[in-house]
Structure 1
Amino acid sequence: MSKASHQQALYELICRYAQAVDQRDWAVLSRLFTPEATLKGPGFSFDGVSAIVEGMNGLGHYSKTQHHIHNHLAEVDGLQASAETYCVANHIYETEGIERKLDWGIRYRDRFACMDGIWHFTYRELLLDWSQDLPLRGAPHETR
């Protein structure tokens, strides 16, 4: 497999992660990590696939999420790799009868291992660069 092929496979792995999280497909998510992998971010750290899946279930309090993958640079060294990937994650939820959208500007710092020709996350760290929380739709205007 060429370096470009490995880099493409890593990008596809990151996209599969975003899709699995947004679709709440925990079976797919669990297959993307090595058994001893770690997923950490602001205020959380999950060690092992079961803890990762259980922890990601916390997204259930959002009615929808969308993770938009942007800049992605990967370095491949044999059967190991690392990458930094930018993402904007949208989280839709309701509070006090108002639908809101929480946006996160994320940088993922990842490490990977290739096992039997398939890349898996061994370590994923979510760095939160910025966030904003706004009503999803404008507030109704009062009429006088």
Structure 2
Amino acid sequence: MTDPNPRHALYELACRYAQAVDRRDWPQLATLFTPNAQLSGPAFSFDSRDAIIAGMGALAHYELTQHHVHNQLVTLDAGEASVETYGIASHIYVRDGQKRKLDWGLRYHDRCVFDDGDDGTWRFASRTLLVDWTQDLPLEG
């Protein structure tokens, strides 16, 4: 079976990643990756789905996060896809008693594979986070 609308499904995969991370829903996040998936970014690298989920504990530093998924470019090649997704991630945290908001302008470079198993869905085989810019300001209101 092939995916009748892979571009939509790949955009939805990126949105489900954002939702799972922001909700700290690690079981849901695990379903989005292949068992041997890799996730890397500035100062981190995880080499399996289990390591990715364990590594997400670093988000405990933030009271909350909110990932916004923007434009996405997809190159399809049979059951694989190269995907670049732009977005902004906001991180709320406290430093020296002051609530702050750290924003990242980011891009994800992904290699996704179509899993033709029971659920016939796209999964991340590798995901690389690139941070293009940051802004860290006191949060008011």
TM-score over 0.5 (shorter chain): yes
Shifted more, 14-23 versus 72-81: the winner is 72-81
Residue type at the aligned position of 2:57: N
Residue type at the aligned position of 1:124: R
Which blocks of at least 5 consecutive residues in structure 2 are unaligned?
A: none
**Partner of 2:127 in structure 1?**
124
Alpha-carbon contact 2:65-2:92 (below 8 Å) kept: yes
Shifted more, 33-42 versus 54-63: the winner is 54-63
**Partner of 1:33 in structure 2?**
33
Deviation at 1:137, TM superposition (A): 1.2
Deviation at 1:2, TM superposition (A): 6.3
Correspondences of 1:3-14 after superposition (within 5 Å): 5-14=5-14
Q: What is the distance in 2 between the residues matched to 1:17 and 1:45? A: 17
Instruction: Choose between structure 1 and 2 for higher RCO, CA contacts under 8 A separated by at least 6 residues.
Output: 2
Q: How many residues align?
A: 137
Q: What is the distance in 1 between the residues matched to 2:103 and 2:24? A: 18
The TM-score normalised by the length of structure 1 is 0.92
Q: What is the distance in 1 between the residues matched to 2:54 and 2:36? A: 14
The TM-score normalised by the length of structure 2 is 0.94
Runs of 4 or more above 6 Å deviation: none
Deviation at 1:112, TM superposition (A): 0.5
Q: What is the distance in 1 between the residues matched to 2:131 and 2:56? A: 16
RMSD, matched Cα: 1.2
**Partner of 1:43 in structure 2?**
43
Deviation at 1:97, TM superposition (A): 1.1
Q: Which protein has the larger Cα radius of gyration, Structure 1 or Structure 2?
A: 1
Deviation at 1:63, TM superposition (A): 0.3
SS at match of 1:51: helix
1:27-77: CA deviation from partner (whole Å, max 9, x where unpaired): 000010000000000000001011100111110110010000111111111
**Partner of 2:83 in structure 1?**
83
SS at match of 2:114: strand
Correspondences of 1:12-27 after superposition (within 5 Å): 12-27=12-27
SS at match of 2:24: coil
